[in-house]
Structure 1
Amino acid sequence: MKSFDTEHNPSAVESGNTAVKNVDDDGREKRTGTLMTASAHIITAVIGSGVLSLAWAIAQLGWVAGTVILVTFAMINYYTSTMLADCYRSPDADPGTRNYTYMDVVRAYLGGKKVQLCGVAQYGNLVGVTIGYTITASISLIAIGKANCFHDKGHSAKCSVSPYPYMAAFGVVQIILSQIPNFHKLSFLSIIAAVMSFSYASIGIGLAIANVASGKTGKTELTGTVIGVDVSASEKVWRLFQAIGDIAFSYAFTTILIEIQDTLRSSPPENKVMKKASLAGVSTTTVFYILCGCIGYATFGNNAPGDFLTDFGFYEPYWLVDFANACIALHLLGAYQVYAQPFFQFVENKCNKKWPESNFIKHEYSSDIPLLGKCRVNLFRLVWRTVYVILTTVVAMIFPFFNSILGLLGALGFWPLTVYFPVAMHIAQKKVKKYSPRWLALNLLVLVCLVVSSLAAVGSVVGLIGSVKTYKPFKNLD
């Protein structure tokens, strides 16, 4: 087993042409990311299993408002993502200094306490998502067992399943996957996860189309659920806020945009490739969102379930429902890593700077493993990432209603990370004149999104209170 330092040795650049070819302009290992890998990362991050809950969101908003809001937030997210992509390199030199993380970008353009605000919003959101994905994956795995039970015993049978073994199994797999060194090595996992997301979204859409074609449709309205019939007046208001928030956050990938962009090759320019990847990711996502949301609403009407597959909008064919839920679980295996890796890197970089002489933190050990090839193990990475996965799994087990908390985290993180910081940095970068028409338009966008985020946060708090009231620890899911 060979031991070596993980830090890049600048002298290696001067040792020969081979070394020079293997490093980028910043002296780091040459980046190999492409338009395809960046698009896969975005799709993995954006098309979550939440796509199957959009029928519920459309049911709260209605045909017109639901569709308009879906398209509007797609455009907003794409627009702000292009602003953020342009900030990857600071214009202090040619071709510019790279900013490796979102915090680095904010530090370069805005500075001050905004850097800490960015860090709290970004990493708090990333940690929350990993906990939420552990819960969501277990729900999908539970749905497989319940689908088989319903098929054997009838749809009204009591099929009680414990989520905890599934959460533990998901955690064990994540401990292994977490040893992938960094975001740059995640491409294969993201491509697999993106294929899985297409698979279960297509199955959900296909089942919904089959229901509509057979004449099994629900009652729909232009304005969605009807007060006094489907919901009370207060429920209509809170659900409206929650639905708008769900749609707004469902596109957000700016939390990890800079980290994705840092995987791209230097040529063609990273910002141009990232903009194309953002367009591909958001366009693909929007098509699936509209299909899932609108066809799902047509199928179930105002009684649309929170999720097509795990809430059993469809019972048969049970094997297809099983396969779709398995695809969700596989997708979440990759999505967990896409969100966890930036946080892993943040902690490891901090520890590297604080203890620069520590062999435990800095050294890697290389070993050849049959069939897998060369494997590099860093003891600190092994211990710390394992502890992290265990902690997120335990939190998921203790608080199975954490997805309600995740809605609140999404509401709090959406405005600063997706709208405010990209717009503020764009204004600073392009030196947009204060009170000019462009400056006023950009600040109006910031203000409108702040209102949306605030309303969604209120709706999430109301939903969270309801979840806490019905919370029973360590209870099987019926």
Structure 2
Amino acid sequence: MGEVGEAQYFKSEIALLSFSDATFKPPLSPLLIRIDPLTPSGSSPSESDPSPISQHPQQDQQRKDAWLPITESRNGNAYYAAFHVLNTNIGFQALLLPVAFATLGWAWGTVCLTVAFLWQLYAIFLLVQLHESVPGVRHSRYLFLAMAAFGKRLGKVAALFPVMYLSGGTCVMLIITGGGTLKLLFNTLCDNHNGNTCAAHALTGAEWFLVFTCVAILVAQLPNLNSMGMVSLVGAVASITYCTLFWLLSVKKGRPDNASYASTLSQESTAVAKISDVLNAIGIIVLTFRGHNLLLEIQGTLPSNFEQTSREAMRRGVSMSYTLISLCVFPLAIAGFWAYGNQINGGGLLYSFPQFHKKQITKFSMGALYVLVIIHCLSSYQIYAMPVFDNLEIRYTSIKNERCSRLERTCIRLFFGGLTFFIAVTFPFLPSLSALIGSMTLVPVTYAYPCLMFLSLKKPRPRGLVWCFNVALGCLGLLLSALLVAAAAWTLAHKGLNANFFKP
């Protein structure tokens, strides 16, 4: 039984590579494939099976599994998992939290932030458990878990666009943010209080994007997700450092004279406008927590066997990382709002801090903060891009039935880097659409789908406490997504959009 179980385990990992191209269309096919444990490893599948799986020796199956960058190395540990989770879950989006507090106020802002934190943390632990919900099967990709839970067709419809956007789209956002911060860094270091010293030598916005992309693709040549553990450590340290420094320095430098804690909701606004502003503020809080679409991939780097699964190590990694995340986001929101009140810039602390304290802090100190933001954007780019690299290599290996060479892997990553750079230059206003697109993609993936997938795969007792709780959270997550999309769309229609195509 041990040999049969071990064979089944390896088959489940690489079964997606065993199909012919006629029946397997990566990355749109499910990873979870039923394998009869009683069938000998050398026997042929039944001719009546509509989706026959080629039977390979166990050694060959391990070899194929080692072709893909996500599952190439399973030598990770709880610390590496914590580095990856920190690197992907905390960053520049947290600097917007005081903006949400300016609309919601102290009490409701704190309540919403606490609820969102606990909700998404619960969803994370559900995903950790679902990674190996079926004995001998590891769901190392979010899309494949969704198709295993919801069915092939519905899983594609529900999860394909959100997962692809949250990988590729986030990389585009990181180029825009990182490139824009490079420009801020240059202007800060060259400024002599009139801003004209380095104007003749300044790069254009597109050129700053190109500089950032070139460095990101250079770092992306590391072979697999597990090999990027130290990159994630650097990014995690950078993000924790600049988030902490922003709120500490904001408190230390003192509040502006006209700072007030009254809500920014105007008494003259219509009811629709007020509801929209409140929902947009809730959206800022909800969208602060991200990276759930990468959690299964991160857990896929951890070792696992029938005696010991990867769940315990991943739980330790998540617990360590979210302890640090809570120590960053709550002070950042509360202290940032205390420091600026309703005078906070709409761009968050990244723009409010230099706006109010430009004369109180040296340009080199401000430049150091910008450098930390840039480092974190560069390191996050690698982790968010990895599922795309993996999907492209799945396509290649399923057609060629061989590992990508170093040159081919480099070409794939250059292609993706060039594509994200082109999109960033074409749509430099994409951050203005982040609330709209994020509500359609991140909110279901983070808050709704884990609860619904748990119901589908674990099948708790109907109408029991666990069943009712997860149904309520899943439905509430989908409703919240719809409300946030409506609010973001209304705001765009009311305030307009500066669609500066090709003018970053």
Matched, 1:243 2:287: no
Which residue pairs with 1:321 in the alignment? 366
Matched, 1:81 2:119: no
Which residue pairs with 1:153 in the alignment? 194
Distance 1:202 1:70, change over 3 A: same
How far apart are 1:41 and its partner, in Å? 0.7
| Match of residue 50, structure 1, among 93, 96, 103 | 93
Structure 2 CA distance for aligned equivalents of residues 332 and 176 of structure 1: 14
Where in structure 2 are there 5+ consecutive unaligned residues?
1-16, 19-55
- What secondary structure does 1:98 align onto? coil
Distance 1:352 1:98, change over 3 A: same
Tell me the amino acid that sits aligned with residue 297 of structure 2.
E
Structure 1 segment 158-197 matched on structure 2, within 5 A:
162-197=204-239
- What secondary structure does 2:400 align onto? coil
- What secondary structure does 2:226 align onto? helix
Higher strand share: 1
Structure 2 CA distance for aligned equivalents of residues 346 and 467 of structure 1: 38
Distance 1:302 1:250, change over 3 A: same
Structure 1 CA distance for aligned equivalents of residues 425 and 450 of structure 2: 35
Higher relative contact order (Cα pairs below 8 Å, separated by 6+ residues): 1
1:223-256 residue CA offsets vs partner (Å, 9 max, x unmatched):
6324148x77655433322221121121122111
Matched, 1:262 2:305: no
Structure 2 CA distance for aligned equivalents of residues 408 and 322 of structure 1: 31
Where in structure 1 are there 5+ consecutive unaligned residues?
1-6, 365-376
Aligned residues: 436
Distance 1:233 1:424, change over 3 A: closer
How far apart are 1:259 and its partner, in Å? 0.2
Matched, 1:132 2:178: no
Percent identical: 23
Of 176-185 and 79-88, more deviation after overlay is shown by 176-185
Structure 1 CA distance for aligned equivalents of residues 364 and 271 of structure 2: 40
1:200–1:328: 8 Å Cα contact kept in structure 2? Answer: yes
Distance 1:256 1:466, change over 3 A: farther
Matched, 1:100 2:145: no
How far apart are 1:154 and its partner, in Å? 7.4
Structure 2 CA distance for aligned equivalents of residues 62 and 465 of structure 1: 26
TM-score, normalised relative to structure 2:
0.79
Matched, 1:419 2:457: no
Structure 1 CA distance for aligned equivalents of residues 253 and 275 of structure 2: 30
Two-structure CA RMSD over aligned residues (Å): 3.1
Which residue pairs with 2:243 in the alignment? 201
TM-score, normalised relative to structure 1:
0.83
Structure 2 CA distance for aligned equivalents of residues 202 and 137 of structure 1: 19
2:148–2:155: 8 Å Cα contact kept in structure 1? Answer: no
Structure 2 CA distance for aligned equivalents of residues 57 and 126 of structure 1: 25
1:364-402 residue CA offsets vs partner (Å, 9 max, x unmatched):
2xxxxxxxxxxxx142x2222212111111111121111
Which residue pairs with 1:302 in the alignment? 342
Distance 1:387 1:466, change over 3 A: farther
